[in-house]
Amino acid sequence: MPSSSNLSGSVREWLPIEELTNVPPSHQNHPQIRLIAADYPTNQKRYAYLRWEVTHPTTPIVWRNGEWLELLHSEHTGHPYHTGTRIEVYPTPLRDDEEDLTEDLTNLQIRNTPAIVDPAGPGSPHRPRSIELRTNRPSNPLDSNIMSTQTVAATQTIARTLAGGGGDGEPPSGPSHQDPQRIRDVFDIALGRAP
């Protein structure tokens, strides 16, 4: 049975430790009410209690006489008590038939909430584009070679083939004596487009 005492104008109701973890059926699965076990690493008290996780810092609470009250702890005696300070534990959990209506209202609220767009933010259609993006030019002029690795390899192969006289043991011929059809054939072969 709880007892009361009056110290310096405030009424303390001392609470039995076994009643500190009582939760009414309406709040059994409430996501912001947490049970702090007696052996919890940061629990400096010698008993388990409930904590309201929404406030900062979190508030120890106890269910007494149909309402949530702030749970206090005596530094001198180590016993729990309350002074009648109410804690508003919200939202009150809904019945199953009310959950569907609440889901619909939440979805409607989300759809009707205006979006805030930062014009200077990334991805904004109002954000000014840089010159490099508008001209599609590389920012480094040394990186302006647009040939692929395959094209570069094919060009080197062609250059070796033509400079070596075709690779058939023929003597190299001068640039003015090259057969244009043969050059096209070599390019096609090197690029994988056999004639």
What is the reported pLDDT for 63? 95
* Enclosing domain of residue 177: 146-190
d(CA 97, CA 3): 41
125 falls within a domain: no
Strands of the sheet containing 10-14, edge to edge, are: 3-7, 10-14, 80-82, 72-73
Which tens digits make up the pLDDT trace of 142-179?
A: 555 555 555 666 666 655 655 555 455 555 555 555 56
Choosing from 82, 106, 125, the residue where a domain stops is: 82
Number of domains in the chain: 2
Q: Smallest Cα–Cα separation from 88: which of 40, 120, 141, 52? A: 52
Share of the chain above pLDDT 70, in %: 51
Q: At 170, which amino acid appears?
A: E
106 falls within a domain: no
29 falls within a domain: yes
Which tens digits make up the pLDDT trace of 25-82?
A: 888 888 889 999 999 998 888 899 999 988 888 899 999 999 999 999 998 998 999 9
Residue keyed to tokens 């250059």: 159
115 falls within a domain: no
25 falls within a domain: yes
